[in-house]
Structure 1
Amino acid sequence: MSTAAALPPLPPERRSGMRPVERLCHATGALLVLSGLAHLVVFLVDGGPWDGPVSWRKPFTFGLSFGVTLIALTWVTSYLRVGARLRAVLLAVFAADCVVEVAGITLQAWRRVPSHLNTETPFDTAVAMMLALGGAVLVVVLSAFAAAAFRHRPGGPLGMALALRSGFAILIVALLSGAAMIARGTALSRTGHPQAAYHSTAPLKPLHGVSLHAVLVLPALAWLLSRTSWREATRQRVMYAAVGGYAAAVLGAGVWAAWSW
């Protein structure tokens, strides 16, 4: 059997409309985005601090970020050479986990207590543990998609393979920085320094935020370039420049985090 024949076929993109799991993920992502925007309105009406462990910022930013990421991941994984059933399962698990994460953070925001690193009561501990477990699930699912991107060359227009592989590689940085925040915060919280635990994660937040969305920004640029009349060589140079620029931004955020930590 030839190598090409052994590869999982590319999904028939847009040929017969979206699959049920894609419609589910898009609808779920849209609801999460709306939830985030609704909490921005709550902040504007209710006020309160923007920073800190207890603020309306958290349900706003997490709802928006998880919603956009879910929609983006549903789109970009259509270019991966991965079995349709496996992709559907991974996307469904990811969608459910996004809902759990945003729901836990939103619940604690309305209770006016911290969502992460909070072990004040058994209920708060259960929520914090649920969010930590959800983070572990996110790592597993996203790592599986990243492995698929590097195992077989993704399809799509010119530059999409570079965009996807670079985006997923940078996404791993986001996962590692998120894990580092949780690990450091948990260690400080368990030694009786809850306020220090919350503040200790601040230097890594820019790195986490910047690297999290590369898997959307770079593929979106590749798609937009495919709609232009530019020569292939020009589009390829633009993609390499974009990847280099994004990597430089991530590196800068990483240097700042290391300096501030």
Structure 2
Amino acid sequence: MVIEGMKSTGEKTKSSVKFFEGEKWLVLTGLLGFLLAGICAVWVLLYPVSPDGNVSNAFSFNAALGIFLLSTAAIAPFSAMGVKGRAFFRWSYILLALYSYFAETVQNFRGVNPRFVKSGMPFDDMVGDIFAFVALFLILCYLFLAIQYFRKKSYMRRPALVVGIRYAMIAVMFSFMAGIWISVNNGRIVGVHGNIIVLHGLGFHALQALPVVAWLSDRTSFTANARSKWTHLTGITYLLGLIAIGWQTYLGRSIFEWSVLSLLICSCFLISLATGVQVLRKTPLGTIKANI
């Protein structure tokens, strides 16, 4: 009886981990992105921009980075990292994100492309060079985080949720590879109509979509086996859709161009979306707030 009681207490401790737990500063850094995006949006509405810099790009970048940081802060507590590991990741990412906000916002306001500097001042070249290293460190630090979700310690905390996070981490790695592709390609356009930014963006959005479906499935009355199947189906079809987008882009074609690959892309994301909707339909609304 004592052993059973101890086991129950341990299980309760594992399941008591909450979203955003201990990530106040990462959340605030994410919210800063929305503040900067709002400032950029107002500027775009009121003033013209330089032909080189583009404040609308700063708007989309700051908003996207803000969403990315908030999503990361939400799932960070479920990783297998210890206190020191989480602190290292948290403050490394905050510092890297702050520089990214600075480079993207200030340089675009100055009329300079922060990534691909053309005939800029030495200061502009320096900011661009540092930005390239910052982007590399953002990838390496996130890879460190991603690996933690594939450890048994993380899985034991919230099995269903962590499976969804694992798929999201793989998708995020696809996005990072797309970002490197953009840098090597010296721009987002491939061939005539291929646009790498589509793959880049959709990969990051897996960080919101896939863990949510996995979390909702854990709230349903499905059997454990059925919940696992729904989560895997959502994740696999999402990843297949990303791979198809990557290949279509590599061929220099738009994802809206009529082709077998376009049909595959559409089918994969429709199945992934339909799976998420089905799981949501089977989730009692009263359990959502109670189990966050």
1:150 aligns with 2:150: yes
Retained in 2: the 8 A contact 1:33–1:63?
A: yes
Q: Classify the secondary structure of the residue corresponding to 2:251.
A: helix
Alignment-mate amino acid for residue 251 of structure 2: W
Write the letter of the residue equivalent to 2:17. E
Q: Matched residues in 1 for 2:58 and 2:29: separation?
A: 16
- Normalised TM-score (structure 2): 0.72
Q: Give the root-mean-square deviation of aligned CA atoms.
A: 2.8
Task: Give the gaps of 5 or more residues in structure 2.
Answer: 1-12, 254-292
1:189 corresponds in structure 2 to none
Q: Which of 13, 17, 41 pairs up with 2:17?
A: 13
After TM superposition, the score normalised by the length of structure 1 is: 0.80
Q: What is the alpha-carbon distance in structure 2 between the residues aligned to residue 134 and residue 117 of structure 1?
A: 15
Q: Check the 8 A contact 1:37/1:60 in 2, yes or no.
A: yes
Matched, 1:62 2:34: no
Contact 2:79 2:148 in 1 (8 A): yes
- How far 1:234 moved relative to its partner? 3.8
Shift of 1:117: 1.4
Aligned to 1:42: 43
Task: Report how far residue 92 of structure 1 moved.
Answer: 1.1
Return 5+ residue gaps in structure 1 as ranges. 1-8, 186-196
- Given that 2:161 and 2:218 are in contact with CA atoms closer than 8 Å, whether structure 1 keeps it comes out as no
Q: Tell me, yes or no, if structure 1 residue 81 matches structure 2 residue 73.
A: no
Partners of 2:205 and 2:43 in 1: how far apart?
25
| CA positional deviation for 1:133 | 1.0
Give the alignment of 1:198-217 within 5 angstroms: 199=189, 203-217=195-209
Amino acid in the other structure paired with 2:70: I
- The answer (yes or no) to whether the contact 1:118–1:125 under 8 Å persists in 2 is yes
- The 1:71/1:173 distance shift into structure 2, 3 A limit, reads same
Query: Would the alpha carbon gap of residues 184 and 122 (structure 1) be closer, same or farther in structure 2, given more than 3 Å must change?
Result: same
Q: Give me the whole-angstrom Cα distance separating, in 2, the residues matched to 1:163 and 1:37.
A: 31
CA contact (8 A) 1:163 1:239 kept: yes
Partner deviation per Cα, 1:220-249 (whole Å, 9 max, x = no partner) = 222233334444344333212211231132
CA distance in 2, matches of 1:209, 1:198: 12
CA apart distance, 1:260: 1.0
The answer to which structure, 1 or 2, has the higher relative contact order (CA under 8 A, 6+ apart) is 1
Counterpart residue type for residue 152 of structure 2 = H
